[in-house]
Chains A and B, each alone.
Chain A
């Protein structure tokens, strides 16, 4: 199955700083998503981005499918951005293999 690797595992920032989180995946994908897990455990969907670039406010993401990586950019970070960021991917093919495989996550801490 697909392997998903995220880096860095931990990141500490001062409020207002920018950051880039990286996700590498081992095979071509039909689905790639970035999630933010809040302190209560809910996975908040940030982007559905199997290819291309998307932006939503201070967050943006780029997936280069041919090179099998995705980047999540956080600009002007705020303390509320703290939490774990997960990248997850799936490769649906021939009526099988629907599961979403998660990386181990990046723990982001934004200090005031």
Chain B
């Protein structure tokens, strides 16, 4: 039973560029959440998708957007990258928002 898979594992981008991160949820899960984890900090909630719609959003600017597909997989898009966007991006899936399972993350470096 595959868990949550994220791609790519590492990424280096230049300031001002755009990036797309991908997530496939655990089998049987229908809800996908995205988190940003800066070095030495706990993960911070970006947003959650359910039934292909953004259900809740954290305190992140509109440069952060997402999408959920009919097969429950999800993408996180970040536009106009800033140096401060460098972080580990974690995807979590769940069934009805209980008992989250996390992927291994995408480590984004903005230079």
Contacts and interface: CB of A to CB of B under 8 A. Distances in A.
A44 B42 CA distance: 14
A46 B39 CA distance: 22
A80 interface: no
A41 B56 contact: no
Contacts of A101: 45
Interface in A56-112: 86, 88, 90, 92, 96-105
A36 to B, nearest CB: 11
Interface in B37-89: 37, 41-45, 48, 55-56, 58, 88
B105 A41 contact: yes
B104 A42 contact: yes
B98 A30 contact: yes
Nearest to B103: A42
B99 interface: yes
Given A42-B102, A100-B92, A90 B97 contact: yes
Contact of A100 (B33, B104, B105): B33
Contact of A103 (B37, B42, B48, B58): B42
B90 interface: yes
B109 interface: no
Contacts of B105: 41-42
Contacts of B98: 30-31, 48, 92
Contacts of A31: 97-100
Nearest to B44: A102
Interface string A25-61: 0000011010100001111110010000000000000
Nearest 6 A-B pairs (CB), nearest first? A102-B42, A43-B102, A99-B45, A42-B104, A48-B99, A98-B97
Interface of B: 31, 33, 35, 37, 41-45, 48, 55-56, 58, 88, 90, 92, 97-105, 107
18 contacts: A31-B99, A41-B37, A41-B90, A44-B102, A86-B42, A88-B42, A88-B43, A88-B100, A92-B97, A98-B33, A98-B48, A99-B45, A100-B33, A100-B35, A100-B92, A103-B42, A104-B41, A104-B42
